[in-house]
A and B are shown apart, each in its own frame.
Chain A
Amino acid sequence: DTGVSQNPRHKITKRGQNVTFRCDPISEHNRLYWYRQTLGQGPEFLTYFQNEAQLEKSRLLSDRFSAERPKGSFSTLEIQRTEQGDSAMYLCASSPKQGPADTQYFGPGTRLTVL
């Protein structure tokens, strides 16, 4: 399968714990995006990478959130001191170097539940 992959698919954690999610984009896609989606809503943009550079960050991305893409391939999203309000689906998307930058392909998401 050559699509975007995300791990884990599900994560249950206790409030106050740290969690880290991984996203592997489609090979050679240089743009990578993170979104958060709560029940009944559309995805909300969190942050965007072009290669290893983090170019955009939403105001939704509080200080407890950090994202990295160290070698311009896979990316990680870490949430520190999780809160119940962090419970959501976290989606990753990538788009190709060639062609429109905005044709994004999504992964299956990581569903986070904070107890």
Chain B
Amino acid sequence: GQQLNQSPQSMFIQEGEDVSMNCTSSSIFNTWLWYKQDPGEGPVLLIALYKAGELTSNGRLTAQFGITRKDSFLNISASIPSDVGIYFCAGFSTGNQFYFGTGTSLTVIP
């Protein structure tokens, strides 16, 4: 199935640093979502974006829906050890199907 391209694939950062990751697609999406997944668990919804250009925050997390509707980014400010995990973007297209990104693995070094 189709998957969205996420970058970077992995990140190793110091506690307190800011993090930025993005997601691109060759197709237009109507919705962008960002999820965090811990090992052995299902993804947990972080932020949902419904309109091109929309910028939404959830605590230390900020995400934007790209103007072209083909990309999105997620920023995490002042990272903490519990931010460790795999972050997935997901795009919702017509036809009620979700396409997930390839994931960004985040490691926070205390």
Contact = CB atoms under 8 A, between A and B. Distances in A.
Interface of A: 4, 6, 33, 35, 40-45, 48, 55-56, 58-60, 91, 93, 100-109, 111
Interface residues of B, number: 27
A52 B69 CA distance: 32
Contact of B3 (A42, A105, A111): A42
Contact of A106 (B42, B48, B50, B96): B42
Contacts of B42: 4, 6, 91, 93, 106-109
Contacts of B44: 106
What's the dominant secondary structure at chain A's contact region?
Answer: loop
Interface in B17-52: 30-31, 33, 35, 40-45, 48, 50
Interface of B: 1, 3-4, 30-31, 33, 35, 40-45, 48, 50, 88, 90, 92, 95-103
A102 B4 CA distance: 17
Contacts of A6: 42
Contacts of A105: 45
A24 B4 CA distance: 28
A100 B48 contact: yes
